């Protein structure tokens, strides 16, 4: 009997234990009966519990849905208000999600005057990690920029896309893609690179020393031509089926996280593609700027591209309007962020991608073009939810005053607060290229680097600015330096020791160029050798690479891998000395680590007196050459046999 009671007690304990475990696992999940039905579109396609901002606005699109009244019967979720639009096929619903609500699925019911109904099953998910754990990029990172169509083709089955796009969890967007051919001989056609092509080569990117990947846009571009570049988006919630699908994108992010790497998403708040699905049925009369011109097939007003009108105290209202409201190009309608529904749509879209993929950052295209007050609100909304996140904005200007204006913390005379952590350093890019190329004189050559870096006094936080030598829009570095390998190494090594976040475009490490047609976008975005079956040259394995290309690849790899653990480069003090006798010395200092970067532009042997640099305190110390491994004792002089750059460190 005693044995029986003991067994019964044990069974009760086990039952209670598993009951508690199940209750624990289900405590944030609510299960109700749902219809599992879908309308044409409900966006965002899902949401999450646990945000600071407990409001959500749904864009609903379906035939005559504007004539219905929505309702939700789910504890903790309430409809505050709903709005009809100019088009009867839209409804916008404001929802409040109570802090106590549980994750789960529920139906949104749409009831019409004749008492007929439509339903859509919506899901609130639990967040995978806390907001503080979304860590953005910073000066400890080195970013590899990739144009995915031109990097590697791992899945030939998606080369032509599909008559149906099936990238959403919520269903299938049925349409015919307008560009379904591959032609690698045409610089402006699609070449077949995809997300899996990036994922398959993460090891190469990691081994090179990069810590983050920024891919140009991967969302659907259902445009009739030149859709490969990604910046004319036609569906903001869908991965282009020619690149893969949502699951592929998440796998890429997950694989990067396993390596301690970050994924940066390229987003576009300024414009969409003219074949975007809503252009055929615009919800409001002011959904895009100059909408009537478009609807009446009149002249399409393009931007005057006078970006200084954002800061210019004397700028006319007309200049400001043409800059902010004109279409970027005739095939890219300008989104009207002053429309509150559009503004909410864009903000929620960015947050949806951060949560869905687990992003490590956003790069925002054409940053000065949208309404600048909206951009402040957009960045502010993201940083409010994700305090450790990072966003970089593209201000394509060589004027540091304009670049600095957009960085959070800038003391702008007009009081503008951007909430933007990082901007792109076009001024330094130009200074580096010009300074390396020019003949040395009082005001040309290395002094351009020296004075370019001196502009840091203007920036709120220089180390949060993203510096680069080339990208998907500008000529390749090797072309810019007239195919001089030594100059390319000078520029690259200098950039990698600056108090900045460095970005390198894919192929720069193997001297890819656009010399045949400098500045031609299609040629700049050349296929990475080895990314396609049958390529005779394979840069991933070094097969077929020339001696110069191999040396450049190894040079880049050694500096990047040293940089990974260099606190002096990440956050150290910067000291540089004015160019002297064709040389330029820069020092990064943190505790017992000093990194020395020296550029020597002299063709003939030269000796430099090191007493000039005594304040750095290196006398008698042994330094190691990061590239060659050779040791050098810092004494009275240093001898240079030939021009080039040297990177030395006091670290063993």
**Please, how many CA atoms are within 13 Å of residue 355, restricted to the half-sphere of its CB?**
24
What is the per-residue DSSP string for 344-385?
HHHHHHHHHHHHHHT-SEEEESSTTSS-HHHHHHHHHHHHHH
Catalytic: 155? no
Let me know: does 353 contact 363? Beta carbons within 8 Å: no
Cis geometry, peptide bond prior to residue 44 (ω within 30 degrees of 0): yes
Q: What is the CA radius of gyration of the chain?
A: 28
Please identify which of the residues 149, 394, 464, 480 carries the catalytic annotation. Answer: 394
Structure-token match 């859709």, residue found = 227
Is residue 615 part of the annotated active site? The answer reads: no
Strands 55-61 and 164-168, how do they pair? unpaired
Residue 597 host element (H or E)? strand 593-600
Annotated catalytic residue within 107, 365, 425, 456: 365
Of residues 421, 422, 405, the one with CA closest to residue 413: 405
Looking up tokens 């600015």 gives 465
User: Is the distance from CB of 570 to CB of 642 less than 8 angstroms?
Assistant: no
Instruction: Give the helix ranges, DSSP H, for 234-339.
Output: 246-258, 291-295, 317-325
Are the C-beta atoms of 311 and 402 separated by less than 8 Å? Answer: yes
Q: Residue 366 in contact with residue 302, Cβ under 8 Å?
A: no
Residue 316's CB is within 10 A of a number of other CB atoms, namely 11
Contact by Cβ (8 Å): 597, 625: no
Distance, in Å, from the CA atom of 123 to the CA atom of 127, rounded to the nearest integer, reads: 12
Distances (CA, A) of 625 to 351, 595, 642, 651: 44, 10, 16, 10
For tokens 């949502």, name the residue.
246
**Residues present in the chain in total:** 652
Sign of the torsion angle spanned by Cα atoms 124, 195, 422, 306: negative
H or E stretch covering 105? strand 103-111
Torsion angle of alpha carbons 393, 398, 400, 402, nearest 10°?
A: -60
Distance CA 62, CA 39 (A): 6
Give the list of residues 6+ apart from residue 166 with CB closer than 8 angstroms, or none. Answer: 172, 241, 245
> Rounded CA gap, 532 and 535, in Å?
6
Positions marked catalytic = 365, 394
């Amino acid at each position: 009997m005693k044995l029986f009671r003991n067994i019964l007690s044990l069974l009760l304990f086990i039952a209670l234990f598993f009951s508690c475990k199940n209750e624990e696992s289900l405590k944030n999940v609510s299960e109700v009966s749902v219809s599992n039905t879908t309308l044409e579109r409900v966006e965002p396609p899902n949401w999450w519990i646990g945000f600071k901002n407990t409001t959500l606005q749904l864009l609903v699109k379906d035939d005559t849905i504007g004539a219905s009244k929505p309702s939700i019967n789910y504890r903790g979720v309430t409809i505050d208000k709903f709005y009809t639009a100019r088009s009867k096929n839209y409804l916008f619903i404001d929802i409040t999600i109570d802090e106590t609500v549980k994750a789960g699925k529920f139906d949104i019911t749409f009831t019409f005057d004749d008492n007929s109904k439509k339903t859509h099953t919506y899901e609130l998910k639990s967040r995978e990690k806390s907001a503080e754990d979304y860590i953005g990029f910073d000066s400890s990172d080195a970013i590899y920029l990739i144009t995915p169509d031109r990097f590697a083709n791992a899945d030939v089955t998606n080369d032509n896309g599909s008559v149906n796009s099936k990238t959403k969890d919520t269903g299938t967007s049925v349409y015919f893609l307008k560009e379904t051919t591959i032609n690698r001989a045409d610089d402006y056609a699609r070449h077949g690179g995809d997300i899996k092509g990036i994922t398959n080569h993460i090891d190469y990117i990691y081994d090179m020393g990069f810590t983050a990947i920024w891919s140009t846009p991967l969302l659907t571009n259902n445009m009739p031509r030149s859709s490969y570049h990604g910046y004319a988006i036609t569906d903001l919630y869908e991965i282009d089926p020619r690149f893969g699908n949502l699951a592929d994108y998440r796998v890429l992010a997950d694989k990067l996280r396993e390596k301690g790497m970050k994924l940066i998403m390229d987003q576009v708040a300024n414009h969409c593609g003219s074949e975007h699905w809503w252009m055929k049925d615009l919800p409001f009369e002011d959904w895009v700027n100059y909408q009537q011109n478009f609807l009446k097939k009149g002249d399409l007003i393009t931007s005057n591209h006078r970006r200084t009108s954002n800061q210019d105290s004397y700028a006319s209202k007309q200049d400001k309007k043409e800059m902010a409201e004109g279409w970027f190009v005739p095939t890219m309608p300008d989104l009207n962020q002053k429309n509150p529904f559009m503004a909410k749509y864009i903000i929620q879209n960015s947050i949806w991608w951060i949560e869905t993929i687990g992003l490590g950052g956003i790069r925002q295209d054409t940053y000065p073009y949208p309404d600048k007050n909206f951009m402040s609100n957009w960045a502010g909304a993201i940083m409010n939810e994700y305090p450790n996140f990072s966003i970089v904005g593209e201000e394509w200007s060589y004027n540091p005053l304009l670049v600095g204006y957009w960085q959070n913390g800038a003391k702008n005379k007009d009081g503008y607060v951007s909430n933007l952590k990082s901007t792109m350093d076009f001024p330094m890019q130009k200074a580096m290229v010009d300074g390396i190329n020019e003949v040395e004189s009082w005001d040309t050559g290395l002094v351009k680097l020296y004075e370019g870096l001196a502009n840091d006094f203007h920036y709120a936080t220089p180390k949060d600015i993203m510096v680069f030598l080339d990208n998907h829009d500008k000529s390749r570095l090797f072309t810019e330096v007239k195919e001089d390998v030594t100059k390319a190494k000078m520029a690259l090594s200098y950039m990698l020791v600056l108090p900045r976040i460095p970005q390198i475009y894919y192929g720069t490490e193997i001297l890819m160029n656009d010399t045949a047609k400098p500045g031609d976008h299609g040629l700049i975005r050349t296929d990475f050798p080895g990314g396609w079956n049958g390529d005779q040259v394979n840069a991933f394995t070094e097969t077929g690479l020339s001696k110069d290309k191999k040396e450049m690849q190894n040079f880049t790899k050694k500096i990047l891998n040293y940089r990974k653990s260099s606190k002096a480069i990440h956050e150290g003090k910067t000291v540089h000395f004015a160019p002297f006798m064709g040389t330029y010395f820069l020092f990064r200092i943190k505790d017992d680590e000093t990194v020395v970067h020296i550029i020597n532009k002299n063709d003939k042997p030269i000796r430099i007196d090191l007493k000039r640099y005594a304040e750095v305190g290196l006398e008698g110390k042994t330094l190691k050459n990061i590239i060659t491994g050779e040791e050098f004792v810092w004494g009275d002089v240093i001898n240079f046999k030939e021009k080039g750059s040297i990177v030395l460190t006091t670290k063993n």
